[in-house]
Amino acid sequence: MAQKLNKKQGNDQIIADFFKKSIWFVLIITMIIAIVYFYQSRENTLEIVEKEYQPPEKLKIEISPPEILFSEEAEKRGINFVQQNGATGERLLPETMGSGVAFIDFDNDNDEDLIFVNSTSWVWDSPQSTSTQEVYENDGSGNFTNVTVEKGLNDMFYGTGIAVGDVNNDGYDDVVITAVGNNRLYMNQSGENFIHDETNLDCTENGWST
C-alpha cells in the first residue's frame, strides 16, 4: 500500500515538474517573440519628413497676337453721316443711347449697302434740326453714294434702332426703324425705293422702342 502511494506521489511530482517547465518554456518563447516583434516594428516605422509643398511649374506659352491695322476711311469712301442726338443740356436718356446702322443689300446686287438711323431735335427745342435717316449705296468697289432722297428714307423723327428682314417674302429686305414715338416700317419696292407702310406696324405714339 505504501509502495503504491509513493509511486503515485512520484508520478504527480513528475507531472508537476513538467508543467512548471512547460510554463517557463512558453513564457520564454513568448518573450522572445515579443522582443523580435518589437525590434522589427521599430525597423519598419516610417520616418516622417516635413517638406514644403512646391506647386507644379506653370507652362508659359508665348503667343504673339496677329497685327491688325485699321484706318479711318469713311469720308474717303463717301460716308459723311453725323448723328444728331438732340442733346441741349437736359441729359435725357434717349440722347445717351446712340442710334444704329444696318448692312443691307436692298437692291440684291450682292454688295452690302448702308442705312444709318438718325435722331432729331426735341419738339420743344429751337432751332429744329433737319437731320434725316441716311442711305448709302455701295457701288461694288467699297465706295458709297448718299441716295437717301431717292430711296425715300429722308424722314425726320427720333430714330433709335433698326432691323432688317423680308416682311412680305418678295425677295427684297424691308426695314423697321424703332423710335421715340411711332416706329416705322419701310417696305422695299424691288430695290428701287422704300415706302413707309403705316398699316402693318402696331406701335404707340407715346412709346420708346430701342
Confidence of residue 2 (pLDDT cuts 50, 70, 90): very low
* Grid coordinates of 112: 452690302
pLDDT at 5: 45
pLDDT tens column, 36-74: 777 776 655 667 778 888 888 888 888 888 889 999 999
Three-state DSSP class for residue 167: coil
Lowest mean pLDDT of 78-87, 136-145, 147-156, name the range: 78-87
> What residue segments make up the domains of the chain, in order of their start?
93-196
Q: Are 190 and 130 in contact (CB under 8 A)?
A: no
What's this model's pTM, rounded to 2 decimal places?
Answer: 0.66
The enclosing H or E element of 123 equals none
**pLDDT for residue 187:** 96
Residue scoring higher pLDDT (5 or 145): 145
The CA distance from 137 to 105, in Å, is 9
Which of 74, 77, 191, 76 has the alpha carbon at shortest distance from 138? Answer: 77
